[in-house]
Structure 1
Amino acid sequence: MLSPVMAGVDGSAESLAAAEWAAREAVRRDRPLLLVHAWNWHPRRTDGEPSPKLPVSLEQKSAPVAAQRHLARSVLRQAEERIRAVTPGVCLTDEQVEGPAAVALLKAAEQAELLALGSRGLSGFTGLLVGSVALGVAAKATRPVVLVRKGEEAEDEHVPAGDGSPSTRTGYRDVVLGIDLADACDEVIEFAFEAARLRQARLRVVHAWQPPSAIGLGPGDIALVNEPQRAGEWQQFLSAMLTVWREKYPETDVLETVVEGKASTALVRAASAASLLVVGRRLPERPAIPRVGPVTHAAIHHVGCPLAVVPHL
């Protein structure tokens, strides 16, 4: 059985947008769509909080459980109706899972092709410190997680029509891959190439570099190479690294972009007219310390298009 494209839904506008995006992606990948709603029968507990030590009777548990199941059914039904209206050809199933949302979604996503979640973005230091279910899942998942903003629609993935109006009959906007040439990984590159192939879209590969400081130079490093030469070296490095992928995906048009500056700034700029931004996340050696990294944080905060966070070793 093919692993499904999965979407977590909670009734919010963001999660409904993620579910609709996941339905379109399931059709593109010729896979089933699984909608998942996670609920916790301890309504006052937060994710990661331990279970109460006092025993709980079946009578005490049954009423809130029944209410939660009814609410979950309503949330899933709402998402199903939206999806069947806009993507009637998708093979659709749903599932309720119990537990803290992040934990339950992480477990469910282990068997998925990818997981789509609604994202509200982050705001200032509060967002960076507190985070959200979507951010927590993206920081810990072993499968790709795609974060989708409220209001994302099928037309947003396509270039405008000739008169400038939104359309789904035009070609797809670029898929953008943010790559660190010092830490390039096959899983992330393959995900981006496959996403571009499925859309018959151009893949724009972006690498940002910054000149080394004099303090960071080691023995044998050349400090006097001018910026155009250094940029040319990065460009050659990027082209050489992508050679095998161009051969594997000969029908995919690839645009290589090497820019000087911060990676987060370069990716936010490149993703402004993209259908999808793909970034990598290294799986930590110590799972107890999950992180998505500053570039992904910046993308979650500033990028409007769907953002795929692809884990790699």
Structure 2
Amino acid sequence: MFSPIVVGLDGSPESRAAVDWAAREALPRGLPLSLVTAWIWRPAEVPSAQESEAQKRWAQQLLNETRQDLAAKYPDLPVTVEQVSDLAPRALLESAEDAEMLVLGSRGHGAVSGFLLGSVGQHVLARASIPVVLVRAEEHRAAEGAEAAGEDGGEVVVGIQDRDQPAEELLEFAFTAAAARGATLRVVHAWSRPPVFAYRAVVTGDEDGSVEARVEKELLEALAPWQERYPQVEVVHRTDLATAGQVVLQAARNAALVVVGRRTHRPSLGMRIGPVTHGVIHHAPAPVAVVPHD
């Protein structure tokens, strides 16, 4: 059985956009869709039996209506629904343990959305063992407009940090996403001058050019095995003497999907996701996939 794409649903415009994005992603991959809504009363609250039952009915109605809408719009897409009475982060992480990816709604360009209970998006991102995709409501409207206009929706952009040993999980997700949508994959990498240059008063163009040539050669060598595995994917690449965040965000302007990584060996204290990934999540105009890797 194929692993599903799991979507967190809370009734907000952002989560509904996430559902539609996930449906359009699942269809070409031949994957089922799983809708999950999670709710729990805060410890300080003591709900009556009637209030608790009303909350359950609301959540189930939300799931049923969303499934009906999907059946009308995407009749060939298998959809399951799940209502979980638990804290949202824990419910989402447990429901998505064996999923292909987890998709969440994100509010605006200022911060990652809270899902049901405040900073759930941040919590889930820092602890998920699978890729997490963040989708905004305005992205959904833009995608609908592009679809109506007959456009392909843009490239898949992936930011590579370590060109000598790029994360396999990151490249596999990016190549698979590009292949599924028939999109060009744009690989971007930021590099810096070796420390020896810092002690020289003048850096000649030849010296700088030789370093850039070596950087590009190493990146192409790292990508070669993946291009052999995915010959149908057109790959373009770019290396820049700049900060990683700047390079990814510049490439993301016309992207359909941006793929960045999160190192799983970071300390759990503070739930850090890394400065580059943090910046891309907050400022990229396209959906952002955060892929955990060693």
Look up the match of 1:294.
Answer: 275
Identity %: 42
Cα distance change, pair 241–73 in 1 and its aligned pair in 2 (3 A): same
Deviation of residue 178 (structure 1)? 0.5
SS at match of 2:138: coil
Match of 2:28 in 1: 28
Task: Report the counterpart of residue 204 of structure 1 in structure 2.
Answer: 186
| Aligned length in residues | 285
CA deviations 1:99-122 (Å, max 9, x no partner) are 111121111110211110001156
Unaligned runs of 5+ in 2: none
Contact 2:266 2:272 (C-alpha < 8 Å) held by counterparts: no
For the 8 Å contact 1:157–1:274, the answer to whether it is kept is no
Q: State the match for 1:273 in structure 2.
A: 254
Q: CA deviation at 1:171?
A: 3.0
Q: Distance in 2 between matches of 1:19 and 1:44?
A: 31
Name which of 288, 295, 303 aligns with 2:284: 303
The answer on whether the counterparts of 1:157 and 1:173 sit within 8 Å (CA) in structure 2 is no
1:7/1:22 contact within 8 Å kept: yes
1:107 aligns with 2:94: yes
Query: Are the aligned partners of 2:110 and 2:283 in contact in 1 as well (CA < 8 Å)?
Result: no
Q: 1:168 to 1:292 in 2, by over 3 A?
A: farther
CA deviation after TM superposition for structure 1 residue 2, in Å: 1.8
User: Are 1:20 and 1:82, in contact at CA under 8 Å, matched by a contact in 2?
Assistant: no
> TM-score, with normalisation over the residues of structure 2?
0.87
- 1:152: Cα distance to partner? 2.3
User: 1:255 maps to which residue?
Assistant: 236
> Structure 1 residues 246, 42: CA separation in 2 closer, same or farther (over 3 Å shift)?
same
Matched, 1:192 2:174: yes
* Cα displacement (A) at 1:287: 4.2
* Aligned equivalent of 1:48: none
Displacement after TM superposition at 1:285 (Å): 5.8
Task: Rate the CA distance shift 1:138–1:285 in 2: closer, same or farther, 3 A.
Answer: closer
Residues 1:282 and 2:269 aligned together: no
Say yes or no: does 1:138 pair with 2:125. yes
- The correspondence of residues 4-19 of structure 1 with structure 2, limited to 5 A, is 4-19=4-19
Kept in 2: contact 1:157–1:275 (CA 8 A): no
Measured in 1, the distance between the counterparts of 2:144 and 2:234 equals 17
SS at match of 1:305: coil
- Per-residue deviation, residues 191-225 of structure 1 (Å, max 9, x unmatched): 100111111111000001122445988xxxxx877
8 Å CA contact retained: 1:121, 1:300: no
CA distance in 2, matches of 1:70, 1:84: 21
Hey, what's the Cα distance between the residues in 2 that align with 1:263 and 1:65?
47
Q: What are the Cα deviations for residues 14-54 of structure 1, in whole angstroms up to 9, with x where unaligned?
A: 10000101111111211111000000033757xxxxxxxxx
TM-score (norm 1): 0.82
Change (3 A) 1:187 1:154: farther
Question: Matched residues in 2 for 1:181 and 1:90: separation?
Answer: 37
On the 8 A contact 1:144/1:308 being kept in 2, the answer is yes
Contact 1:172 1:199 in 2 (8 A): no
Task: Name the Cα RMSD after superposition.
Answer: 2.7
Offset from partner CA, 1:259-291 (integer Å, 9 cap, x none): 111111111111110111111111126445532
Q: Which moved more, 1:108-117 or 1:60-69?
A: 60-69
Cα distance, 1:173 vs. partner? 1.4
Please tell me whether residue 67 in structure 1 is matched to residue 54 in structure 2. yes
Question: 3-state DSSP class of the match of 2:279?
Answer: helix
Compute the displacement of 1:65 (Å): 2.7
Shift of 1:147: 0.5
Unaligned runs of 5+ in 1: 46-55, 161-165, 218-222
